[in-house]
Amino acid sequence: MWLKTVVPVCARTARSARHVHTSASALGSGVPMSKFDNKEVDYDTMEKRLEAVRNRLNRPLTCSEKILYSHLDDPENQDIVRGESYLRLRPDRVAMQDATAQMAMLQFISSGLPRVAVPSTIHCDHLIEAKEGSAIDLERAITTNKEVYDFLASAGAKYGVGFWKPGSGIIHQIILENYAFPGVLLIGTDSHTPNGGGLGGLCIGVGGADAVDVMAGLPWELKCPKVIGVKLTGEMNGWTAPKDVILRVAKELTVAGGTGAIVEYHGPGVESMSCTGMGTICNMGAEIGATTSVFPYNERMAEYLRATNRANIADLADKHRTLLTPDDNCEYDQLIEIDLNTLEPYVNGPFSPDRGHTISEFGKAARENGWPLELSVGLIGSCTNSSYEDMSRAASIAQQAVDHGITAKSQFTITPGSEQIRATITRDGQADVLSKIGGVVLANACGPCIGQWAREDVPKGTPNSIITSYNRNFTSRNDGNPQTHAFVASPDIVTAMVLSGRLDFNPLTDELEGPNGPFKLQPPTGDELPSQGFDPGMDTYQAPPSDGSDLSVDVDPNSDRLQLLSPFPEWDGKDLENMEVLIKVKGKCTTDHISMAGPWLKYRGHLDNISNNMLIGAINSANDEANTVKNQLTGEYQGVPDVARAYKANNIPWVAIGEDNYGEGSSREHAALEPRHLGARAIIVKSFARIHETNLKKQGLLPLTFANPADYDLIAPEGAKVSIVGLDKFAPGEPLTATVTNPDGSSHEIKLNHTFNEGQIAWFKAGSALNHMKKMAERA
């Protein structure tokens, strides 16, 4: 892909370089726990930028508009039209999880820049496989992934990026505890970055190439979002939890309903929620395709800031409250109202996070749909629901079971969100209570939520049901088994259900059987914040040195985990003629279908190796099978990556065809890098998810949509050829034309829409956004 690094890459080639010693297994680094530079909180500059925008727009602004527009690169001249303009923004911070940081740092190295221009961090949370328990799993991960951890630690030290070692916790919980603040604009290379909206910031998931732009000091581009308002009234009570708000919103908006919009919560009901509860809601906004989600600044956020040693930020935010809350009479593009007094707990699934049922409806739905009623496993925690409050409420339910002499009938796992949460719930007893009913505490990492689960209790292919407090439940997501019916609920409902062992148990109405007779669980209770304060646990942070210019970064040329990058070729100025249709995808095609996680995570730093998973989960419309497509060169059926490699070897460009919301789910840019690496030139679908469309553009591909969605049916599932013509006149707002020739001799001319602006067209012509950036730097 990109140019090789211009800095020394190993001690063998740069013997004078001082090698950075970073043992990933050394959890106690001796670095003070303060990782935050208060200079980032510059409300005065934000106010000045916003004032320039107010003078131009002359209308009340929503909370999200205030934060977004106060980060404009050129507030006096920026065109601002919701849903139309491309904003050029200056984010305050970048955060990367280890699976995506590998490619992001490889791209940054290729830029030739000496140091990141904005505060940035790497978080080791994705590569730890859950199997036996926290200590054993962490030790195994440190050994297995040593090469990757050492690369990320040394790259962080050289280029000025903070490094959170394995065992630190999940990126989004670490951000909430350390880096998020009211009014921050933060981008993260993970789709659940919006978790930080629970602390009043705009935290947005992006691909690695976007992160590279920001780390390079360039303005970051975002299509001006629409704003969906969710007005909350009433007050949560009983079994209802913040998770139920987003499960209810997901049911209404569906997985695509938030695309191109920020979801902004407001109203008197907000005051009944904890800061971490608001984070849960914002986190799972990724499941409706939202750009991000946010809550207005309030006292619950101030309490959380003070509890996490950031009282000075709370004091500043109090003085700038009007910047961090919506104006009266501001307008939303869509408004949803939810009465928390009457909101029931929800259980969403299986196979899609928007398939929602209230708890009173769920048991009947399970029986009618033939879902396996025996609950095999319940899992709580993850980045979505692993706060002190979540664990306290779950423990209050577990304590009732202990008091009545029963334990869980299903397997039960607990994932603390951070080392701080783990240490605190260990000190305060919640972990002990959860273990007494059979709970197993996993490592402070993503684990089963992202498919890092060495599950052994159910053979692959066996129908079974699990319930989690996670965020995502696509087919095969958690354990690689397409027959696992995964359901999403609050930690409270999950804990109650494992005590019954059945999917159709309703804790609001049903009883459990104990040694002394039947009993009914009482609604959970729990402290929002620990009365003794947080226990930080072991220090797992490595701060970068002030000057890393003489450090080296190791990349073994023979590694199967890491690979330096070479640039993609520039556009040759010609139309794309006679492209083979590699696959015509049928139905849902998420980034999990395009570039699976789980066992493939280990190759996230090696583009060629991970490309062997490209589109292997997508369903071929020609035969309703996954990873079986016809090689038009030989007539044989092979795996999708195998056929793509055959076409590439013969200099045959190809295109993939898809349906609605193509690329929903994770922010993983590998779902764009892999097709580009294996010879794709265009992806043509009915509609795209936001992040994936941007990622495709960044890598020099053409993400195009049918002007008439019915034209999807005009392309034969096998043997069709597609030509995209008129690229010499490629311009913003002007559709492109494609000619489709089918094997039966029929030919069709179809119109294809795009959302490219002038700058993005330059990415296509240069071969990628990074190629273009390097050209601009060379000219300067």
Per-residue pLDDT of 41-73, as tens digits, reads 999 999 999 999 999 999 999 999 999 999 999
Strands 162-164 and 292-294: unpaired
Catalytic pick among 125, 492, 554, 660: 125
Say what angle helices 388-403 and 419-428 make with each other, to 10 degrees.
30
Omega of the bond leading into 709 within 30 degrees of 0 (cis): no
For 101-153, what is each residue's pLDDT tens digit? Answer: 999 999 999 888 999 999 999 999 999 999 999 999 999 999 999 999 999 99
Beta strands in 631-779 (DSSP E): 637-638, 654-657, 680-685, 702-706, 721-725, 736-741, 747-753
Q: What is the pLDDT of residue 12?
A: 24
Categorize the per-residue pLDDT at 176 as very low, low, confident or very high, splitting at 50, 70 and 90.
Answer: very high
pLDDT above 70: residue 23: no
Catalytic pick among 98, 190, 479, 492: 190
Is position 472 annotated as part of the catalytic site?
yes
Task: Concatenate the DSSP letters of all residues of 545-610 into one string.
Answer: PS--TTEE----TT-SSB----PPPPP-SS-EEEEEEEEEB-S--BHHHHB--GGGGGGTB-HHHH
Report the alpha-carbon distance of residue 6 to residue 113 in Å, rounded: 9
Report the alpha-carbon distance of residue 211 to residue 220 in Å, rounded: 9
For 185-215, what is each residue's pLDDT tens digit? Answer: 999 999 999 999 999 999 999 999 999 999 9
pLDDT above 50: residue 625: yes
User: Which residues neighbour 121 within 8 Å (Cβ) at sequence distance 6 or greater?
Assistant: 35, 93, 94, 95, 96, 161, 162, 163, 164, 174, 179
Catalytic pick among 469, 476, 666, 768: 666
Strands laid side by side in the 93-97 sheet? 202-205, 185-188, 93-97, 120-123, 162-164, 541-542
Q: What is the pLDDT of residue 470?
A: 98
Q: Is the Cα dihedral 242, 247, 248, 252 positive or negative?
A: positive
Strands 576-584 and 721-725: antiparallel
The answer to whether 254 and 228 are in contact (CB under 8 A) is: no
Report the alpha-carbon distance of residue 156 to residue 453 in Å, rounded: 28
Q: What is the pLDDT of residue 776?
A: 82
Task: Take residue 779 and report the two structure tokens written for it.
Answer: 């000219």
Q: What is the pLDDT of residue 779?
A: 78
pLDDT above 80: residue 552: yes
Q: What is the mean pLDDT of the chain?
A: 93
For residue 717, the 8-state DSSP code is S
Beta strands in 124-165 (DSSP E): 162-164
Could you tell me what percent of the chain has a pLDDT over 70?
95
Report the alpha-carbon distance of residue 81 to residue 176 in Å, rounded: 31
The answer to whether 194 and 100 are in contact (CB under 8 A) is: no
Catalytic pick among 49, 93, 126, 310: 126
Categorize the per-residue pLDDT at 83 as very low, low, confident or very high, splitting at 50, 70 and 90.
Answer: very high
* Stretch (H or E) spanning 96: strand 93-97
Is position 666 annotated as part of the catalytic site?
yes
Question: Which residue type does 583 have?
Answer: I
Domain boundary assignment for the chain:
345-505, 576-779
Long-range residue pairs from 759-763, CB within 8 A, at least 24 positions apart, any chain: 759/86, 759/221, 760/221, 760/697, 761/730, 761/731, 761/732, 763/697, 763/698, 763/700
Catalytic pick among 88, 472, 606, 772: 472
The yes/no answer on whether domain 576-779 falls in CATH 3.20.19.10 is yes
Cβ neighbours, 10 Å, residue 14: 16
Is position 190 annotated as part of the catalytic site?
yes
Q: What is the pLDDT of residue 37?
A: 59
pTM, to two decimals: 0.90
pLDDT above 50: residue 1: no
Burial of 299 (0-12, 13-18, 19+ CB in 10 A): exposed
Residue with the two structure tokens 């609604």: 523
Q: What is the pLDDT of residue 668?
A: 84
Q: In CATH, which superfamily holds the domain spanning 345-505? A: Aconitase, domain 3 (3.30.499.10)
Query: Among residues 446, 448, 444, which one has the least CA distance to residue 466?
Result: 448
Report the DSSP beta bridge partners of residue 722: 579, 740
Query: Among residues 694, 477, 422, which one has the least CA distance to residue 596?
Result: 477
Q: What is the pLDDT of residue 616?
A: 97
Categorize the per-residue pLDDT at 594 as very low, low, confident or very high, splitting at 50, 70 and 90.
Answer: very high
Domains 345-505 and 576-779 are alike in CATH topology: no
pLDDT above 50: residue 161: yes
Is position 422 annotated as part of the catalytic site?
no
pLDDT above 70: residue 38: no
Strands 702-706 and 747-753: antiparallel
